[in-house]
């Protein structure tokens, strides 16, 4: 234990301090904390050149990230999702799966790595930054480059903010009912906070439905990550010289926490504490990923990844609207 502390404390301490600064800036400017965490990390990339910091930063970008994803399980509320009925969830689930495949197809068409199509498509379809973080942990390590993850976080935040501002106007222009507006906003916007902001700007009913739909997407994070894990398992084996055929432990922990919480075994104050710990751990891991990533590398990827994520976002929104008009 003492050896671990000696080798890791410098990098962990740096990530924690930067995370605190990111939280302060996010609170001051009412902006997404994950974006500040990543940008501050990118600006302090020179810290990763120090061997004294590298081990702790690597620990935060991997182990702390998986810990944070595992704790996301307490955010799942099965009862709220069931209350929606059958059709809205079917529209959203179908659109999510099609969008991920669309991301892979368009990535290959643009000459981008297949894993970036999966990463970006999953982030758009599921729940933004949290989904990108979870998916990145099960992608082949040699194929997955952290500059693509950094770019995904920046793009998904910018596109989600734009969607939060414009989608309520779209629902008004199309004459959607409050229920339809809730399904569209909850189904098409990336981040939970952005969904809540956009949904309740339309009406209370639209906000409630948008929140439930968004929770459905969050609930699907586990099965989607598991499917991606098994889809890339064989490739991971060839790249890393062997990989376990079992589901990673942090995903099992995610499921157990969700199940135990929905059965009512976790007291509400403890649930809130776990949510806070998970959020803090995600910020720390986001800082670490930023510090490890060279801004020059991010810029070097060019316009194609940004175009890909923009098209995925538009495609996903159009699928949700098509489902509302022609199925729902």
Domain ranges of the chain: 2-326
**Average pLDDT estimate for 71-99:** 79
Residue scoring higher pLDDT (122 or 214): 122
Q: If we measure between CA atoms, which residue out of 58, 116, 128 comes closest to residue 287?
A: 58
Q: State how far the Cα of 67 lies from the Cα of 325, in Å rounded to an integer.
A: 40
Residue 26 has pLDDT above 60, yes or no: yes
| Amino acid 298: pLDDT | 67
**Apex CA 158: angle with CA 152 and CA 161, to 5°?**
130
| Amino acid 160: pLDDT | 81
Phi and psi (nearest 5°) for 266? -105, 120
Q: If we measure between CA atoms, which residue out of 143, 144, 141, 120 comes closest to residue 132?
A: 120
Structure tokens given for 56: 């702790």
* pLDDT confidence band for 84 (50 / 70 / 90): low
Q: State how far the Cα of 285 lies from the Cα of 300, in Å rounded to an integer.
A: 23
Note the pLDDT tens digit of each residue in 177-207. 988 899 999 989 887 767 877 888 888 888 8
Residue 156 has pLDDT above 50, yes or no: yes
pTM: 0.72
Q: State how far the Cα of 36 lies from the Cα of 129, in Å rounded to an integer.
A: 13
Sign of the Cα torsion 190, 194, 198, 204 reads positive
| Amino acid 308: pLDDT | 93
| Amino acid 20: pLDDT | 96
Note the pLDDT tens digit of each residue in 36-67. 888 899 899 999 988 889 999 999 988 998 89
Q: State how far the Cα of 173 lies from the Cα of 199, in Å rounded to an integer.
A: 15
Number of helices (H), then strands (E), belonging to the chain: the values are 17, 0
Which residues are CB-contacts of 306 (< 8 A; sequence separation ≥ 6)? Answer: 151, 155
């Amino acid at each position: 234990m003492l050896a671990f502390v000696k080798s890791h404390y410098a990098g962990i301490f740096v990530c924690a301090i930067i995370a605190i600064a990111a939280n302060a800036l996010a609170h001051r400017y009412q902006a997404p904390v994950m974006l500040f965490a990543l940008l501050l990390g990118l600006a302090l990339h020179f810290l990763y050149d120090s061997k004294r910091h590298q081990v702790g930063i690597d620990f935060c970008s991997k182990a702390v990230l998986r810990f944070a994803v595992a704790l996301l399980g307490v955010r799942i509320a099965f009862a709220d999702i069931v209350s929606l009925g059958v059709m809205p969830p079917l529209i959203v689930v179908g659109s999510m799966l099609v969008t991920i495949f669309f991301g892979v197809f368009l990535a290959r068409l643009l000459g981008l790595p297949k894993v970036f199509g999966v990463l970006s498509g999953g982030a758009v379809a599921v729940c933004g930054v949290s989904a990108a973080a979870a998916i990145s942990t099960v992608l082949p390590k040699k194929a997955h480059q952290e500059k693509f993850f950094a770019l995904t976080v920046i793009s998904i935040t910018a596109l989600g903010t734009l969607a939060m501002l414009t989608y309520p106007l779209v629902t008004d222009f199309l004459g959607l009912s409050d229920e339809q507006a809730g399904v569209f906003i909850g189904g098409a916007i990336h981040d939970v906070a952005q969904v809540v902001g956009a949904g309740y700007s339309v009406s209370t009913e639209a906000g409630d439905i948008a929140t439930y739909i968004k929770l459905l997407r969050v609930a699907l994070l586990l099965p989607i990550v598991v499917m991606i894990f098994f889809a890339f398992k064989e490739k991971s084996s060839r790249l890393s010289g062997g990989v376990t055929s079992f589901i990673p432990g942090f995903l099992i922990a995610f499921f157990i926490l969700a199940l135990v919480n929905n059965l009512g075994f976790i007291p509400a104050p403890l649930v809130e504490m776990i949510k806070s710990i998970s959020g803090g751990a995600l910020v720390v891991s986001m800082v670490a990923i930023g510090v490890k990533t060279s801004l020059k590398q991010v810029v070097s990827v060019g316009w194609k990844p940004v175009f890909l994520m923009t098209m995925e976002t538009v495609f996903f929104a159009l699928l949700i609207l098509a489902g509302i008009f022609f199925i729902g």
